[in-house]
Amino acid sequence: MSEQQVRVRFAPSPTGYLHVGGARTALYCYLYAKRHGGKFILRIEDTDLERSTEEAMRMQIQDLNWLGLHWDEGPHPETLKDMGDYGPYRQSQRKEIYQKYADQLLEQGDAYYCFLSDEEIEAQREQAKKEKRPPQVKSPYRDWTVEKALEFKKTCPTPPVIRFKVKDEKTDYVLQDLVRGDVTFPSDMVGDFVVIRSNGMPVYNFCCVVDDALMKMTHVFRGEDHLSNTLRQIMVYDALNFEKPKFGHLSMILGEDRQKLSKRHGATSVNDFNEKGFLPEAMNNFLALLGWSSPKAQEIITMDELCEQFHHDRLNPASAVFDEKKLTWVNATHLRQLPHAELWNRLQPFFAKAGINLSDDPAWQNKALETMKTSMETLTDAIELFKPLSNEPFKVSDKAAEVLSWETTSAVINKWIELVSAKNELSADDFQEILAQIKTECAVKGKQLFMPIRVAIIGEPQGAEVKLLVPLMAKQELIDRANQCLN
């Protein structure tokens, strides 16, 4: 028998930005598919009409694209048209399919129309709470035939839901989870659950099963928070006689205070990190290690290496802590390894947004990055570093007034002009030498020396490390700027 092709899906609900937890799930699904020569599928779970938006779907698609987690099947990243043989890939377009399987459950007697109103359900919950029982719905419609229910529906003011009938006899379900090992669920953990809402929309636990089965998923990786849903899903698989995929429930991601990672902890969406100047390769590297470890103990790892090494046996069931300092370190490492032409490209949107215009000479860009990249951890760090080099008219800040009023300042700046003029180009060493010379010849030191020089170069008494900037500036520019300070 030929081995079944691995098919793994990422199934986000488009209710907001892609959260880092979702991104990690997507990454693991992608890596698992790649590692096993399989297919990675994107399915949009948008049956919650109140919370799902087209805009959120587009944003999530953009974020997945930015991470480079390209899917083989699902909505096309630009046109959103279905790619693949198992579509539609948006659940909101699969309503008839779910209805067909709900009808099958009704016919088999594994589901029933339930006419309980919200108030009646609430009253049952209250009662169960009082009696310290789990709040499971006991429906008087459970044993009605479909015919009787359809007849009643004609006159009943409450539109019915379709409820799955959990078997009366108690059994233990054992899930062989790829991450957590055997997990046992007693069947009475759940009561009869809704599969189709009264507005005709299916409920997650139902459509997820129908889709995973019809789309021939072999593996389902998702957050541990879905573990309790899995029991309901197994019941639906069994009732519909569908083959089950293998499940792996991933550990939670916690903030540094060991609480579930949320907005309170600061940036939590992939888009936040994109805007903060993190690189997708660093994000993938960092997220991969939140709950998985490389068999070669690599802390810095490329996407190709991840695709080669990823397997579920190294997924860790213990919660992982999201450590932004580590992410920053991973990012700095990847950033400094990028070829300069590539790094320059990645910086362009950040420079453009900050209104920074720089030389288009590749040799200059190369030299500038060589000097500056060791001071950069994220792409946004480049903004402050490069601002003084922007091709804009030089301005002396008001903050420089005090420094310019010191008695010794004009002598220092004049000497600076004289010594710079005598050179062709200024290396970092030349700059140090010139400073030493000014120190002796003008008999100044400390603040009296450094602040006037900084003002002469960047127009500000505080800020950028001028010794990095000087070798990147034309001699004439340095002289012009210094002269402007003397006026």
Give the footprint of ligand GLU on this chain (CB under 6 A).
Answer: 11-13, 45, 208, 222, 226
Residue number, 18 or 442, with CB nearest to ligand GLU: 18
Rounded to a whole number of angstroms, the minimum distance from the CB of residue 57 to ligand GLU is 12
Rounded to a whole number of angstroms, the minimum distance from the CB of residue 220 to ligand GLU is 6
Rounded to a whole number of angstroms, the minimum distance from the CB of residue 18 to ligand GLU is 10
Rounded to a whole number of angstroms, the minimum distance from the CB of residue 229 to ligand GLU is 7
Rounded to a whole number of angstroms, the minimum distance from the CB of residue 4 to ligand GLU is 20
Q: Of the listed 263, 395, 445, 447, which one is catalytic? A: 263
* Residue 89 and residue 44 in contact, taking contact as beta carbons nearer than 8 Å: yes
Residue number, 11 or 466, with CB nearest to ligand GLU: 11
Residue number, 48 or 103, with CB nearest to ligand GLU: 48
Rounded to a whole number of angstroms, the minimum distance from the CB of residue 3 to ligand GLU is 24
Residue number, 45 or 381, with CB nearest to ligand GLU: 45
Which of 331, 328, 381 lies closest to 351, judged by CA? 381
Tokens of 186: 């007693």
Sign of CA dihedral 73, 74, 75, 78: negative
Rounded to a whole number of angstroms, the minimum distance from the CB of residue 23 to ligand GLU is 12
- The set of residues, in sequence order, having a beta carbon less than 8 Å from that of 440 and lying 6+ positions away, is none
Residue number, 11 or 470, with CB nearest to ligand GLU: 11
The three-point CA angle 410-414-415 to 5° equals 120
Rounded to a whole number of angstroms, the minimum distance from the CB of residue 17 to ligand GLU is 13
Phi-psi region for residue 316, left (φ > 0), alpha (ψ -120 to 50) or beta?
beta
Q: Is 263 a catalytic residue?
A: yes
* Residue 49 and residue 39 in contact, taking contact as beta carbons nearer than 8 Å: no
Q: Which residues are catalytic?
A: 263
